[in-house]
Amino acid sequence: MTPTERTRLRREHQRGSYDPQSIYDILDATTQCSVGYTIDGKPYVTPTFHWREGNHVYWHGSSASRMLRKATDAEVCLSVQIIDGYVMARSAFHHSANYRSATLFGRAFKVPEEEKAARLDAFVEHLWPGRTEVLRPMQPQEIKATTILGLEITEASAKARSGPPIDDDADYGLPIWAGIIPMTQVVGAPIADPRNLPDLAAPDHIINFTPDRTSQ
């Protein structure tokens, strides 16, 4: 992917990548993103869930959503960030974080009405493979009440840091502990709805859930 004026990395550019697969992997490793857009010339950022299908990323919400209405056919910025650890150095200046991030730019488009059901099914399957097989079908009014926006991944960059702290050479001899405090997202045990039918066990796609799609 060729860098553009918006995606070209200027600070710590050696940590950056424009490789599509690197960008895909970061998008797939988290379900959460933030979408930046403007309303009447003023900037807004809204956190939401996203999913990727091929070279497109999608997000959805209520058809009454001001964010979705204003972002349709407009320039947006979509970003994700995953913190993998705090990097503890021998000086405050060199403290850092190990992370993975991706930033996308482009014009958001509205998914047509006739494609919405398939996109919503893909969203559910992206998170919980096999879930759509056990759900009741979506009702027409539910599909109508939902708006889905998409963005083609043509203008994007990834940035990541890993490894130990990088201190000044003179500081390595100081009696100060340095290293990494790893950070991970932990999924807890499922909690059943008290109104479940009796003796209804959680299916495998619930028990084995992980938000990181790159591990599937």
Please report whether residue 69 resides in a domain: yes
CA–CA separation, 35 and 14 (whole Å): 26
Q: Are 56 and 109 contacting, i.e. CB atoms less than 8 angstroms apart? A: no
* 37 in a structural domain: yes
Q: Report pLDDT for 213.
A: 65
* 49 falls within a domain: yes
Kindly state whether residue 148 falls inside one of the protein's structural domains.
yes
Strands 56-62 and 146-152: antiparallel
Averaged pLDDT of the chain: 93
Is 149 within a domain?
Answer: yes
- Residue 54 phi, psi dihedral angles, 5° rounding: 60, -125
Quick check: is 54 in a domain?
A: yes
Q: Cα dist. 194→191, 197, 200, 203 in Å? A: 9, 9, 11, 16
178 touches 88 (CB < 8 A): yes
Encode pLDDT of 84-105 as tens digits: 999 999 999 999 999 999 999 9
| Average pLDDT score over residue span 161-182 | 97
> What mean pLDDT do residues 38-54 have?
95
- Tell me the pTM: 0.90
Residues spanned by the domain of 115: 13-83+98-162
Instruction: Decide if 212 is inside a domain.
Output: no
* Region of poorest pLDDT, from 15-29, 47-61, 135-149: 15-29
Residue 75, pLDDT > 90, answer yes
Q: Where residue 50 sits, what CATH number does that domain have?
A: 2.30.110.10
**Domain count across the chain:** 1
Pairing of strands 16-17, 155-161: antiparallel
| Mean pLDDT across 176-200 | 94
The mean per-residue pLDDT over the stretch 21-30 comes to: 95
135 located within any domain: yes
